[in-house]
Amino acid sequence: MINIAVLGYGVVGSGVVEVIGRNHEEVMKKAGDEVRVKYILDLRDFPGDPYEDRVIHDFDTILNDPEISIVCEVMGGIGAAYQFTRQLLEAGKSVCTSNKELVAKHGAEFLELAVARHCNYMFEASVGGGIPIIRSVNTALTAEKIEAVTAILNGTTNYILTKMGSEGTEYDEALKQAQELGYAERNPEADVEGHDACRKLAILSSLITGRNVDAGEIYTEGITGITGADFEYARLEGMVIKQLAIGKMQEDGSVLAMVAPFMLSAGYPLAAVNDVFNAVLVTGNMLGDVIFYGRGAGKLPTASAVVADVIDCAKHQGRNVICIWDREAAKVAEVADTKRRFFLRAKAGARRAVEETFAGGKSVVLQDGGEAFGFFTAQMREKEFNEKCALLGDAVLSRIRLL
Amino acid sequence: MINIAVLGYGVVGSGVVEVIGRNHEEVMKKAGDEVRVKYILDLRDFPGDPYEDRVIHDFDTILNDPEISIVCEVMGGIGAAYQFTRQLLEAGKSVCTSNKELVAKHGAEFLELAVARHCNYMFEASVGGGIPIIRSVNTALTAEKIEAVTAILNGTTNYILTKMGSEGTEYDEALKQAQELGYAERNPEADVEGHDACRKLAILSSLITGRNVDAGEIYTEGITGITGADFEYARLEGMVIKQLAIGKMQEDGSVLAMVAPFMLSAGYPLAAVNDVFNAVLVTGNMLGDVIFYGRGAGKLPTASAVVADVIDCAKHQGRNVICIWDREAAKVAEVADTKRRFFLRAKAGARRAVEETFAGGKSVVLQDGGEAFGFFTAQMREKEFNEKCALLGDAVLSRIRLL
């Protein structure tokens, strides 16, 4: 019998209990032993809940119970969750979490502690919901030098951009629809400004470099400035617009890490990833491209990933599973130094100035483009692009990178 | 130091040696120790090869060397490969293989032996080349009741069907192009008749049922009867034609396992998987759909998967990694009992007979359809469909299932 505790009986926490209950037999077979939820820690009581009798309010009961060897931290936040996780790992208890904020911030620290205490810190559910991307990078694509991850990691922004692209909806309206469907929060900032994707990318980038990539060092740009017109210009050129998270090893050993909207060819594998779906394209030096695709969020998919971690911990009791993410900081490349093509939308009157400034690029005019036109530059350094845009002043209405 | 041996210095074998050589540092980090190719078993000599000095011709040297704990069986076939694998596992040495024929036929037997001898039999490379589908099913999607796998498992047939669909090429011409590009063998039977996909599906179906699914029990149909006209009818209905391998749990606990061409909606996730790419869509009861996509073949991707197995074996020396695939036979469902819609192409003169026989279906006529027309039936049992087709005799020119 493997006794576990669940910290937080919210959406994911109740999902974890449900997955273990409904798939009891599968979980037992894969773990090699019965898995039982002994405690559920929450501030609230849950009268009438079938697991009512497991609910406790005192963390120390869990910490001090020698029967508990695996704990699911699905409470979120970085205050109590941090303290609890540290204490549990120090006590040699494995922790499985869906808390991407905490993993991004303290992953390296917790992994180091888990090694020292012969237990595990696992976080499959922190990136891509139920898509097994963390375990694939850690334990499946192990013979690879991973050169890049290119990913759609936020379902909310992907839904909004899909709506804008397919129905010509403007941003505000698409956001409203996403909120009505429960895909976006009332305060959507964490999603639409890219912070959520940034944390997930910090985790993935740390795993591919083996060193710590601080979320604060990741260039992050949201989707609030994207307009319906941008999609029309993209379509004319056979492209779509997606919010991408990119982690890419550079020749000098640094990692380029950025979250931003990109125009990409409609034939590119991620271009067809629509609605709330997530996808991670991993490029390995032997393997080429492999794509992992699925629902990146949701109670049961996320809980399923947490329970998969529980099973992995159960199979490795007393032994640490290798996960290379050192505390030493990775060298993060300057986005300004990277080279690519750019799209810009500018006032119609500035067409000649734009064409002169970005010689070698290409203007595109929409039939009902009004007082604006679109322009695709040749390949250039981002720094140079920004400098040239600055020369054009307020004639430039928007800019989007090309992949 | 972990010493390994490679059985067979052909395409995959030389790939294994190359991956370990080129990604030496990554492999060492992930395995937690240096991995060294001590022996390469082959009947031939390789004068001038950088690994010339490792080549041996006597299997017993490997079997009797206590330094060798992991062996890559990448020689293919089910004769010597079977004997060698059995002897190695009996000696407690782990075996990693890309040999799908052998895995499909003797996987359950070898896994049982590996449990008894505290070693491992791993076969990531046997399905989907470098796509980590075996490890994902075994060690990542462990909290799931897997309800179905729906997959494109053969790159050759997918290339041929992609050509036929996108360029209107007829089968013979598309096959010829595939052969010229090295995607199809001179004798293409194993691919185009579905035998290759059938073996891979036997492996995947065994893993999702936990019992042995014999390849001989899998309904297997090739693509040689598909015509350009079939693609045109499909297109008119917003569909494409793909060779699918389907393993699906039935309510009575049996598994439906079949390899055949299917018409599927162009919006279905696998419809956009083109050329030589493979993809596996796994449906879990908590997770919903997750898709794994990538190159399903090729020297280095396949070798990378073998080396990932070597690393996993290295991390689990002396301990068996749970893989549930019993020798007991799974109950395989009768394809004739399944219900679905069907497409058929028939002689123009039989239109009235077809419409009467399949009341509730729909005729489709191509502008240049010549002496034939297309017909989409309502949902019906396959048995009933076949009986009705038999009544129509030689008026029926071709039939394709709808997904």
Question: pLDDT for A19-50, tens place per residue?
Answer: 999 999 999 999 999 999 999 999 999 999 99
B290: chain A residues, CB-CB within 8 Å: 130-132, 292-294
Question: Alpha carbon of B330 to those of B137, B226, B244, B315, B321: distances in Å?
Answer: 18, 31, 21, 31, 22
**pLDDT band at A296; cut points 50, 70, 90:** confident
Question: B64: how many CB neighbours lie within 10 A of its CB?
Answer: 10
Token pair, residue A74, equals 């699905």
Reduced to 3 states (helix: H, G, I; strand: E, B; else coil), residue B350 is: helix
The better pLDDT of the pair A272, B161 is held by B161
Q: Cβ–Cβ of A286/B22 closer than 8 Å?
A: yes
User: What are A167-183's pLDDT values in tens digits?
Assistant: 999 999 999 999 999 99
CB under 8 Å to A195, separation ≥6 — which residues?
A: A189, A220
**pLDDT band at A367; cut points 50, 70, 90:** confident
Is the per-residue pLDDT at A369 higher than 80? no
Token pair, residue A371, equals 């007082």
Of the candidate CATH numbers 3.40.50.1970, 3.30.360.10, 3.20.20.120, 2.30.30.100, the domain formed by B138-295 belongs to 3.30.360.10
> Could you tell me which chain A residue has the CA closest to the CA of B21?
A143
Question: Which residues of B are catalytically annotated?
Answer: 200
The pLDDT, as a whole number, for residue A297 is 87
The pLDDT, as a whole number, for residue A34 is 97
Any CB–CB contact under 8 A between A166 and chain B?
A: no
B316: chain A residues, CB-CB within 8 Å: none
Check if the beta carbon of residue A9 is closer than 8 Å to that of residue A39. Answer: no
Q: Which residues of chain A from 14 to 33 reach within 8 Å of chain B, CB to CB?
A: 19-20, 22-23, 26-27, 29-32
B335-402: CATH class: alpha beta
Q: Which of A93, A200, A242, A248 is catalytic?
A: A200
Burial of A25 (0-12, 13-18, 19+ CB in 10 A): exposed
User: What are A196-252's pLDDT values in tens digits?
Assistant: 999 999 999 999 999 999 999 999 999 999 999 999 999 999 999 999 999 999 999
Q: What CATH architecture does domain B2-130+299-315 belong to?
A: 3-Layer(aba) Sandwich (3.40)
Q: Cβ–Cβ of A291/B289 closer than 8 Å?
A: no
Residue B12, marked binder = yes
pLDDT (tens digit, 0 to 9) for every residue of chain B, 403 residues total? 999 999 999 999 999 999 999 999 999 999 999 999 999 999 999 999 999 999 999 999 999 999 999 999 999 999 999 999 999 999 999 999 999 999 999 999 999 999 999 999 999 999 999 999 999 999 999 999 999 999 999 999 999 999 999 999 999 999 999 999 999 999 999 999 999 999 999 999 999 999 999 999 999 999 999 999 999 999 999 999 999 999 999 999 999 999 999 999 998 989 999 999 999 999 999 999 999 999 988 999 999 999 999 999 999 999 999 999 999 999 999 999 999 999 999 999 999 999 999 999 999 998 877 889 999 999 999 999 999 999 999 999 999 999 9
To which H or E segment does residue A257 belong?
A: strand A255-265
**pLDDT band at A124; cut points 50, 70, 90:** very high
Check if the beta carbon of residue A145 is closer than 8 Å to that of residue A248. Answer: no
CA atoms within 13 A on the CB side of B336: 4
CB under 8 Å to B5, separation ≥6 — which residues?
A: B37, B38, B39, B40, B41, B62, B65, B68, B70, B71, B72
The pLDDT, as a whole number, for residue A350 is 94
**pLDDT band at A54; cut points 50, 70, 90:** very high
User: What are A194-210's pLDDT values in tens digits?
Assistant: 999 999 999 999 999 99
- Which of A304, A309, A313 would you mutate first to test chain B, the one with the most B CBs within 10 A? A304
**CA distance from start to end of chain A:** 51
| Backbone phi and psi for residue A318, each to the nearest 5 degrees, phi listed first | 75, 0
Nearest-Cα distance to chain A for B131, in Å, is 6
The pLDDT, as a whole number, for residue A370 is 80
Residue B9, marked binder = yes
CB under 8 Å to B20, separation ≥6 — which residues?
A: A143, B27, B35, B36, B37, B307, B310
The pLDDT, as a whole number, for residue B368 is 79
Is the per-residue pLDDT at A353 higher than 80? yes
Domain boundaries, chain A: 2-130+299-315, 138-295, 335-402
A321: chain B residues, CB-CB within 8 Å: 315
Any CB–CB contact under 8 A between A304 and chain B?
A: yes
Q: Measure the CA–CA gap between B20 and B31, rounded to whole angstroms.
A: 11
Nearest residue to B316 via CA among B92, B97, B66: B92
Nearest-Cα distance to chain A for B370, in Å, is 34
Nearest-Cα distance to chain A for B290, in Å, is 5
Task: Go through B27-60 and write b for each residue having 16 or more CB atoms within 10 A of its CB, e for each that does not.
Answer: bbebbeeebebbbbbbeeeeeeeebeebbeeebe
Residue A12, marked binder = yes
How many percent of chain A have pLDDT more than 90? 97
